[in-house]
Amino acid sequence: MLTTVVAVVIVLGGLIFFHELGHFSVARALGMGVSTFSLGFGPKILRCKRGKTEYALSLVPLGGYVALVGESDPRDIPEGFTTGESFALRPAWQRLMVVAAGPLSNILLAWLLCWILAFGWGTPVPLAQVGSVLQNSAAERAGIQPGDMVLAIDDTPVESWKTMAEAIAAAGGRPLRLTLSRPDPQPAATPGNLAENAPEHATEVHVELTPQRSVRKTIFGEEEEAWLIGITSSGSVRLEQHGPGDAAVAGLRQTGEMLSLTWQSFVKLAQRVVPLDQVGGPIMIMQMVGHQAHEGLAGLLALSALISVNLGILNLLPIPVLDGGTITFCLWELVFRRPLHEKIQEYSMRLGIALLVLLMLLATYNDIWRILKTTGWFGSGS
If asked whether residues 369 and 270 sit together in one domain, one would say: yes
| Cβ-defined contacts of 338-341 (< 8 Å, 24+) | 339/92
**Could you tell me the residue range of the domain that residue 229 belongs to?**
125-186+197-239
Last residue of a domain, one of 173, 206, 239: 239
pLDDT value for 188: 54
If asked whether residues 253 and 355 sit together in one domain, one would say: yes
Q: Is residue 29 part of a domain?
A: no
Q: Is residue 74 part of a domain?
A: no
If asked whether residues 253 and 264 sit together in one domain, one would say: yes
CATH number at residue 205: 2.30.42.10
Q: Is residue 109 part of a domain?
A: yes
If asked whether residues 151 and 253 sit together in one domain, one would say: no
If asked whether residues 280 and 230 sit together in one domain, one would say: no
Please list the pLDDT of the chain residue by residue as tens digits (382 residues).
778 888 888 898 889 889 999 999 999 999 999 999 998 888 899 999 998 999 998 888 777 889 999 887 777 788 889 988 999 999 999 999 999 999 999 999 999 999 999 999 999 999 999 999 999 999 999 999 999 999 999 999 999 999 999 999 999 899 999 999 999 876 554 554 443 444 468 899 999 999 999 888 888 778 888 999 999 999 999 999 999 999 999 999 999 999 999 999 888 888 888 788 888 888 888 888 888 888 889 999 999 999 999 999 999 999 888 999 999 999 999 999 999 888 998 899 899 899 888 988 988 888 888 888 877 665 544 3
If asked whether residues 130 and 115 sit together in one domain, one would say: no
Q: Is residue 312 part of a domain?
A: yes
Total count of domains within the chain: 2
If asked whether residues 329 and 353 sit together in one domain, one would say: yes
If asked whether residues 166 and 283 sit together in one domain, one would say: no
If asked whether residues 221 and 290 sit together in one domain, one would say: no
If asked whether residues 211 and 288 sit together in one domain, one would say: no
Q: Is residue 32 part of a domain?
A: no
Q: Is residue 318 part of a domain?
A: yes
If asked whether residues 264 and 362 sit together in one domain, one would say: yes
Q: Is residue 164 part of a domain?
A: yes
If asked whether residues 282 and 336 sit together in one domain, one would say: yes
Q: What is the pLDDT of residues 213-250, one digit of tens each?
A: 988 888 877 888 899 999 999 999 999 999 999 999 99
Last residue of a domain, one of 175, 210, 239: 239
Q: What is the pLDDT of residues 307-365, one digit of tens each?
A: 999 999 999 999 888 999 999 999 999 999 999 888 998 899 899 899 888 988 988 88
Last residue of a domain, one of 239, 271, 305: 239
